A and B are shown apart, each in its own frame.
Chain A
C-alpha cells in the first residue's frame, strides 16, 4: 500500500488511472443567507484498495463532498463545478439515470446519522432487498437470503430476526451495521463512509472499523472515510486529506500528515490527540475561534483569522502545492513550519502567548 500512498497526490500513481479522480470540485447552495460555497475547489484521487480519510471540523464540507459524488446534493438550489471521474465518466455531468445505476452498485455510502437513515415504517429486510434487487437479477427469496448473509457478515447476531425488525427496534450500533450491510450489498468499488463510528461506543467503533478494513482486504474497494476523529484515521487510513472551510488545506500519506504536518490547522488537530493521556477525543478539540461562514469566507487564507502564525502574505489565498514533499495551503516556509509547530515538545498549534517562544 505504501507505494501508492507515497506518490504525490497531484501525480497519477504510476501512470495507472485512479479508481476515482476528483478535480476542482465545487458545490454551492443558494440559501436564505446568500450563496453558501460548501465545497470550494477540492481535488483528490482514490485508488482501489485504499482508504482515504477526509478530516475537518463540523461544517467544513466533508459530507457535501461525499454526497455530491453520488449526486445526492442535486437540487434546483445547488450549483456544481469541476469533475469527478469514475470509470471513465464524469459523475457530475452524468444524467440522473446513469448516476442511479452507479449509486448503490458501484459507489455506496454509509451516512452520518444511523438513527434517522433508515425508513422508520419499513422493516429492515425489505429496505436491504430493495437495493439488492435494483442492481441484480435476483428473486425476492434470493435477495432476502443475501440480505441475511450481509447482516451476518457485519456481525449482527440472529440476522433472520433482524430482517423482520423495524429500525426503531434496533440500537444505534445495530442500525449503523445495517447501513454498512446495505452499503456493501452490491460489492461497491467505492465506499464512502461518513463518520461511521461517531455516536457509537468504543468497542462497537472498533468492530465497525474492522469491517471497513476487511471490506478493503476482501473486495479491494476504495474507501473514503469521513471523520472528525484522528484516532480513527491513525487506525485505518492510508492517506489523509484535511479540509477547512470547503477547501483541502493539506493532503498526504498517514505518516506525512502525522509526522511532518505542514498546515497550522493540521497542527491544531494533531495537538489534541498528541497527549497520550486522552487517546481518542470524541470530537475534534477546540482550536480557538470558530470556523468561518461559508456564505462569506474570509479573504486570503481561510484559516488566517484563527491562526496565531499569520503574517502579511496570508491576505492572499495560498495555492495547494507541495512545498515539503506533500501539498498544503500555507505560506510559511518548511523551516518556519518545523519550528513553529513544536509546542512543548510536541506538535500543536501555539496559542498567542506561546508563540513568542517559537
Chain B
C-alpha cells in the first residue's frame, strides 16, 4: 500500500510537471501569440509594448518565464493577461457551478445508465433491449452542444419550461439552483447513459455465462439473489471505476461544451474563453487542475477496484 501511494505520487508529480511544460510550450510556439503585443492593444507604440514585456517578464528566457509562472501558481498569485484578475480566485468562483453540474449529472447518469443497462440485459434480444440500444446509440452519436441547443430552444424558449441557461448558486437560492441545473444535468448525462448502459449490458451478458453464476443457481437461491448478488455485483465493478474517471474528467473542465451552451460560467467555460484569448495563465491552471483530478481519481479508482475485486493487487 505504501509502495502504491509512493509510486502514484511520483508519477502524479511527473505527469503534472509534463502537462504544465507542454501547455506552456504550446502557447510559446504560437507565432502570433505575443501577449505583450495583445495586452498593449493594436495602436500601441513599440515603447509601451517593450515596457509591458519588461514588467510581465516576457523578455526573459522561456524556462525563466515558466518557473516564474509556476511559482506564481503555487503561491496563489497568478494573474491573467486579459482580465488581469487572480486566476485562482476566478476558478474558486467558477468551481461551484462545475461541481453542481458534475455531481448532479454523475448521479443521474450512473443511476439511469445502470437501470437501462440492466433492463436491456434482462430483456436481451427483445423489444425493450432493441429500443434501449437504439436510444443509447443515438445518445452517443449526438454532440452535446447540439442536444443542449435543441433542448434550450424547445424547452426553454418555446415552452418556457426551463430557464434559458445561467447558474444560480445553491447557497443563495436552492430551488432556483435546482431549476437551472436540471436541463444541463440531463443533457450532459445523455452521452454517459448511452455508454454506461451499453457497457453494463455486455458485462451482464458475459457474467451471466460465468461458471460461478451457474453454481449460484445450482444452490437453489432465488433468481433475484442470483442476479443481484452474483451477476449485477460483479458486472458493476468496472462501471464504478469508469464512473470515477469520467467524473474526474467532468470536474476538471471536461464539461466545457455543456457549460458553454448553458452559460453556467463553470471552470470549463472559463478555460474555453481563456484559450480563445490566448490567455496562458488561466489555461495553465485549469489544465493542471483538470489533470490533477484525473490523476488523483484514477489512483482512487485503482484502490476502489482492488477493494471490490480481491484478485487485484495494488502495485
Contact = CB atoms under 8 A, between A and B. Distances in A.
Physical contact A–B (CB less than 8 Å): yes
Contacts of A109: 218
B211 interface: yes
Interface of A: 67, 70, 72, 76, 96, 100-105, 108-109, 111, 113, 116-122, 130-131, 134-135, 166, 168, 179, 182
B313 to A, nearest CB: 11
B303 interface: no
Interface centre among A67, A102, A121 (most CB of B within 10 A): A121
A163 to B, nearest CB: 14
B28 to A, nearest CB: 49
Interface residues of B, number: 24
A78 B225 CA distance: 23
Nearest to A74: B217
Contacts of B310: 120-121, 166, 168
A131 B226 CA distance: 11
A117 B214 CA distance: 8
A134 B311 contact: no
A157 to B, nearest CB: 21
A134 B221 contact: yes
A104 B223 contact: no
21 contacts: A100-B220, A101-B220, A103-B218, A104-B218, A104-B221, A105-B220, A108-B218, A111-B211, A111-B218, A116-B210, A119-B234, A120-B212, A120-B310, A121-B234, A130-B219, A130-B225, A130-B229, A131-B221, A134-B220, A179-B215, A182-B215
Majority secondary structure of chain B interface residues (helix, strand, loop or mixed): helix
A253 B314 CA distance: 55
Contacts of A119: 212, 215-216, 230, 234
A184 to B, nearest CB: 12
Interface in B198-228: 210-212, 214-223, 225
A76 B216 CA distance: 19
A72 B217 contact: yes
Contacts of B220: 100-105, 131, 134-135
Contacts of A70: 218
A61 B237 CA distance: 34
Given A70-B218, A116-B211, A116-B212, A168 B311 contact: yes
A117 B221 contact: no
Interface string B228-264: 0110011001000000000000000000000000000
A182 B219 contact: yes
B89 interface: no
